[in-house]
Amino acid sequence: MIKIIVAGFRGSMGQKTLNLIKKTEDFKLVGAFSPDATDINSASYGLDEDVQIFNNLTTKPVEADVWIDFSTPAGVFDNAKFALKNHIRPVIGTSGLTDQQVADLKAYAKEQGTAGLIVPNFGISAVLLMKFAKEAATYFPDVEIIEMHHEDKLDAPSGTALSTAKQISEVREANDAPEFKETLEGARGANYKGIRIHSVRLPGYVAHEQVLFGGEGEALTIRQDSFNRDSFMKGVAIAVHKVGSLKELTVGLENVLS
């Protein structure tokens, strides 16, 4: 049985996490943290009597194995330190940690002898796509990325597409994209170290990414589609199950996908 504290339990992801815990046989909710939980009666939140509700980090937390954090950019750093100090392994889905904060947390985790996982993307299909793309690029250095999102997404390319390009470029031999002549500017897309990235924005679409590899007489394509954030819960479950096998505070769900 894995004993879990959820930080940010009143938010949308926090609520989904409570549902996940309820549905998973070997998960047990033992605590729930939120600075604005002024009422510390667990029944008020529809939770079991023995769940500790707390709203500040001076409270001594109940004994737990994993601290799932879906709190706020402002709170996540202190939350993570608190979890590590109490030897509870943090699984952090909250965004907003700076590079310096991540470095500090890694050092502190080592000091405390407690591992953990910081997860920028809980979507398993996206994480697997990146993992496979990185592996395929060893054999197919010719690669382009197409990402497709709803029309309201202003920035292009998407963070996941850029992250995919970065991971591919780590293993890819310096290999520029082929020469070209654009008769209409921008046709060949954005350029990340020779990897061309194309961003489509259309209503109806949600969040999709394709990595296209081409070689003499053959092609390989990996595609992932995210339709909604329910998909993240599968990633949370894996993170919680696997964080115990880590030796240090690690970044990226791919590190616990064997």
Contact indicator for 171, 224 with CB cutoff of 8 Å: no
Of 27-35, 49-57, 98-106, 204-212, the segment contacting a second copy by CB under 8 A is 204-212
Near a second copy in 144-163, by CB under 8 A = 144, 146, 148, 151-152, 154-157, 162
Of 66-74, 95-103, 106-114, 229-237, the segment contacting a second copy by CB under 8 A is 229-237
The residue written with tokens 């082929």 in the block is 178
Contact pick of 196, 236, 243, 256 for a second copy (by CB under 8 A): 196
List Cα–Cα distances, 126 to 78, 80, 180, 207, in angstroms.
29, 25, 30, 10
Q: 166 Cβ partners below 8 Å, 6+ apart?
A: 192
Looking at the chain, how many residues does it have? 258
List Cα–Cα distances, 38 to 10, 34, 43, 53, 79, in angstroms.
12, 9, 13, 9, 18
Widest CA span in the chain: 68
Contact pick of 73, 219, 244, 245 for a second copy (by CB under 8 A): 219
Specify the amino acid at residue 141: P
229 contributes a contact to a second copy by CB under 8 A: yes
149 a catalytic residue: yes
Binding track over 91-120 against a second copy, x by CB under 8 A: ------------------------------
164 contributes a contact to a second copy by CB under 8 A: no
238 contributes a contact to a second copy by CB under 8 A: yes
216 contributes a contact to a second copy by CB under 8 A: yes
22 a catalytic residue: no
How far is 239 from 252, CA to CA, in rounded Å? 10
Q: Which of 3, 28, 153, 166 is catalytic?
A: 153
Contact indicator for 237, 250 with CB cutoff of 8 Å: no
Contact indicator for 123, 235 with CB cutoff of 8 Å: yes
Question: Taking the CB of residue 33, how many other CB atoms lie within 10 A of it?
Answer: 27
Contact pick of 234, 241, 242, 246 for a second copy (by CB under 8 A): 234
257 contributes a contact to a second copy by CB under 8 A: yes
215 contributes a contact to a second copy by CB under 8 A: yes
Contact pick of 58, 170, 183, 247 for a second copy (by CB under 8 A): 183
- List active site positions: 149, 153
